[in-house]
Amino acid sequence: MPYAKPTSLLQHRLGARVVRTDEASRFAGSFDGSKIAFDCDAVIRVRKDADVGVVMDLANEYCVPVTVRGGGTSLTGSASPRFGGWVLDLSRLTKVRIEAEAGLAIVQAGAKVGDVQRAAAAAGWFYPPDPSSKEHSTIGGNIACNAGGMHGGKYGVTRDYVLSLTGYLPTGERVKWAGEFKKWSAGFNLRDLWIGSEGCLGIVTEAVLKLIPAPAERWTLLAAFRDEAAAFAAARALIASRLQPAILEFLDRASVGCAEQASGKPVFAEAPKKPVLLLELAGSSAEVTEQKKAVLAWAEEYAVVSRAARSREEAEELWAVRRKCSPAMFALGDSKLNEDIVLPLKSYAAFGEFLEKLKKRHRLAMPTFGTSW
Ligand SMILES: Cc1cc2nc3c(=O)[nH]c(=O)nc-3n(C[C@H](O)[C@H](O)[C@H](O)COP(=O)(O)OP(=O)(O)OC[C@H]3O[C@@H](n4cnc5c(N)ncnc54)[C@H](O)[C@@H]3O)c2cc1C
């Protein structure tokens, strides 16, 4: 192992239970969600914030490459130890504290996003960023990747909820950017430079997150359309009408086909294998009641068929269509390559046409789904 000396020094400082060099630990740290794998000298499962400083100080002195790791759900290989050295695993730093009065969450980097959401909800607050990986990905990883999710259109992405960051520079020096306050306007904004930097500028160990009041009511509708172009036109019309759904998800025919194959039943018996939009309204009871009327009129005008959930259980069944579609795609082949693209609303129709041509030219299955605003 090329970094045997600093690794044994680190073991001496933090203990062999923290600095793991056994094959099973190194294997577990060798890949992320992309399955791109590289061996490393050690996986360091830190137990406290200060351990990160010790690791970085020694890594800096001996020029050991360090790859930071949260939940390891990255789909780009960014948590795989491309240059060997050490994998710095923060998944044990899991403390979450809610400041209910101020609407803040003070969260260690290894806390799972789903746990933060549940802690916020228990105090009557809402933490909106919700990547589909939220039960496995960590707040530190979400900050490093500026993760988004289905709520992005209305509520924004991780960056919009980070008030301050505490962490370590590659030299091992502890830093804090901004603080536990919502208004911050003085000085260089290094906090936002760190967000989305994928661990290249420093290591986040704690964040203060802004929470917002939890919506009192939610309402879910699933609508099927004649074809993809009709679904895109309907999505544009909905947004142009100033309605702000909390979630607006698009699934093309191929994605719906995969979900139907996985569940063994059509999404809409009246219109099988049609592209769908799945939307959720969220807000005060009065807001949702008002918007519901407008959405039902919109569905009447644009959709072939639509179905509103009458209870949270029914809503969950509708959301299951969305959740199943990605894993269900393995019915089409034994591997898949995910591409995450972002388009201006006005380019949806042109993109749809381009995609159809691309599918024909390459004769490849290209199921397309995602947040449509
Ligand atoms: C099934 C599935 C669904 C997904 N859905 C979404 C989605 O809806 N939206 C979305 O945005 N992403 C999604 N992703 C991608 C991934 O979950 C996110 O990028 C997530 O933010 C990664 O978090 P993590 O804790 O797993 O980080 P890791 O994968 O461990 O690390 C990701 C990157 O962040 C760095 N990093 C991790 N922790 C820290 C830290 N504390 N300080 C500094 N750098 C750090 C790592 O070095 C690496 O570069 C999905 C992935 C999967 C597998």
128-146 pLDDT per residue, tens: 999 989 999 999 999 999 9
Count of CB atoms situated within 10 Å of the CB of 182: 11
Q: Judging by DSSP bridges, how do beta strands 212-213 and 203-210 pair with one another?
A: unpaired
Q: What is the pLDDT of residue 234?
A: 95
pLDDT in tens, 259-318: 888 888 888 888 888 999 999 999 999 999 999 999 999 999 999 999 999 998 999 888
Does ligand 1 come within 6 angstroms of the Cβ of 74? yes
Instruction: Please answer whether residues 62 and 93 qualify as being in contact, where contact means their C-beta atoms are separated by less than 8 angstroms.
Output: no
Atom of ligand 1 nearest to the CA of 73: 26
d(CA 267, CA 364): 24
Ligand 1 center from residue 142 Cα (angstroms) = 5
Which uninterrupted H or E stretch holds 282?
strand 276-283
Instruction: Please answer whether residues 125 and 100 qualify as being in contact, where contact means their C-beta atoms are separated by less than 8 angstroms.
Output: yes
The CATH number given to 96-213 is: 3.30.465.10
pLDDT band at residue 331 using 50, 70 and 90 as cut-offs? confident
pLDDT at 83 over 80: yes
Ligand 1 center from residue 203 Cα (angstroms) = 14
Q: What is the pLDDT of residue 372?
A: 66
Does ligand 1 come within 6 angstroms of the Cβ of 103? no
Ligand 1 center from residue 26 Cα (angstroms) = 19
Does ligand 1 come within 6 angstroms of the Cβ of 93? no
Domain boundaries, the chain: 4-89, 96-213, 217-371
pLDDT in tens, 333-365: 888 888 888 888 889 889 989 998 999 999 989
CATH fold of 4-89? 3.30.43
Pick the CATH number of 217-371 from 3.10.20.580, 3.40.1530.20, 3.30.70.2190, 3.20.20.70: 3.30.70.2190
Does ligand 1 come within 6 angstroms of the Cβ of 150? no
Does ligand 1 come within 6 angstroms of the Cβ of 198? yes
- Please state the φ and ψ torsions of residue 147, each to the nearest 5 degrees: -65, 145
Does ligand 1 come within 6 angstroms of the Cβ of 108? no
Place of tokens 């599918």: 359
Instruction: Please answer whether residues 370 and 249 qualify as being in contact, where contact means their C-beta atoms are separated by less than 8 angstroms.
Output: yes
pLDDT in tens, 38-57: 999 999 999 999 999 999 99
Atom of ligand 1 nearest to the CA of 91: 25
Prediction pTM value = 0.92
d(CA 113, CA 145): 13
pLDDT at 323 over 80: no
Amino acid occupying residue 322: R
- Which of 49, 66, 73 has most ligand 1 atoms within 8 Å of its beta carbon, as the pocket-test mutant? 73
- DSSP code at position 138: B
